[in-house]
Amino acid sequence: MCGHYECGGVKAAMGNQHIGLIDNWIRHLKDVYRLHHEELDAIEDEDKRFKRFVEINVIEQVWDLAKTSIVQNAWKNKQDLWIHGWVYAACDGH
């Protein structure tokens, strides 16, 4: 899984405004925010909160992928399967 710090979807999910059809796409992000709102709301700096939300979203995506039947069956059958979560900054590639 890979996320990026300048993600517009994550930024949109941080707000309470309805955007239209994109609301369906960012619904999962709003769920992630709801699950982690205490940690995120405690971060006063909006940019740092935004970046941490991106990181938490990648962690949650990795967990979601790990719970799929395909991955679970691969691990059950002792297949060599690894899941990695990455976050990068599009502005400098780090």
The predicted structure's pLDDT at residue 20: 79
> Are 5 and 19 a contacting pair, CB within 8 Å?
no
Mean pLDDT by 10 residues, the chain (94 residues): 89 80 84 95 96 96 96 97 94 86
The predicted structure's pLDDT at residue 39: 97
Helical ranges in the chain per DSSP H:
8-14, 22-25, 27-35, 37-41, 46-66, 69-76
> Are 54 and 5 a contacting pair, CB within 8 Å?
yes
Q: How far apart are CA 44 and CA 85, in angstroms?
A: 25
pTM of the model: 0.87
The predicted structure's pLDDT at residue 70: 96
Domains (ranges, CATH) in the chain? 2-88 (3.40.1050.10)
